[in-house]
Amino acid sequence: MVKLHVKRKDESQFLYDTSVTSTVDDVIIDVTAIYNGRLKVTRVCSELEELAQHGTLLPPNMAGLADEQVCELRLVDEWGEKCVPSGGWTFHKDPLGRRNGRQPGEKMRDVVDKTVAEARAIVSKKQIQADVCLTQRAVQSALDILRGAVMIMYPMGLPPHETIRLELENSEDLTGTQASLEVLDAALAQLWFSGRELQRGKLIGDYVGRNEKTKVVVKLQSRGQGPPAREPLLCEEEQKQLMLHAYRRQEQLKKLDQDNDDSYLDSAWADSSSLKKSFQGLSNISWRPK
Q: Are residues 89 and 213 in the same domain?
A: yes
Are the CB atoms for 9 and 221 separated by under 8 Å? no
**Could you tell me if residue 287 is inside a domain?**
no
Region 251-260: mean pLDDT is 75
Query: What residues form DSSP beta bridges with 189?
Result: 222
pLDDT recorded at residue 267: 64
pTM of the model: 0.78
Same-domain status, 147 and 255:
no
Which residue, of 172, 205, 222, is where some domain finishes?
222
Decide which of 201, 222, 243 is a domain's last residue: 222
Angle at which helices 24-54 and 106-122 pack, to 10 degrees?
160
Domains in the chain, number:
2
Residue 73: give the domain boundaries.
Answer: 2-222
Cβ neighbors of 245 (< 8 A, separation 6 or more) are none
Instruction: Evaluate whether residue 289 is within a structural domain.
Output: no
12: closest CA among 218, 240, 222, 181?
218
Identify whether residues 73 and 118 lie together within a single domain.
yes
- What pLDDT does 226 receive? 72
Q: Tell which wins on pLDDT, 23 or 230.
A: 23
Same domain, 107 and 151: yes
pLDDT value at 288 more than 70: no
Q: Are residues 192 and 238 in the same domain?
A: no
Is residue 130 predicted with pLDDT exceeding 80? yes
Is a pLDDT exceeding 70 seen at residue 289? no
Give CA torsion, residues 36, 221, 130, 141, to 10 deg. 10
23-61 confidence digits (pLDDT tens): 999 999 999 999 999 999 999 999 999 999 999 999 888
Q: Across residues 96-125, what is the average pLDDT?
A: 94
Clarify whether residues 240 and 171 are in a common domain: no
Structure confidence at residue 164 as a pLDDT band (50, 70, 90): very high
Average pLDDT, the chain: 87
3-state secondary structure of 77: coil
The backbone region for 2, taken as left when phi is positive above 0, alpha when psi lies in -120 to 50, beta otherwise, is beta
Q: Are residues 182 and 235 in the same domain?
A: no
Asked if residue 179 is part of any domain, the answer here is yes
Q: Do 133 and 62 share a structural domain?
A: yes
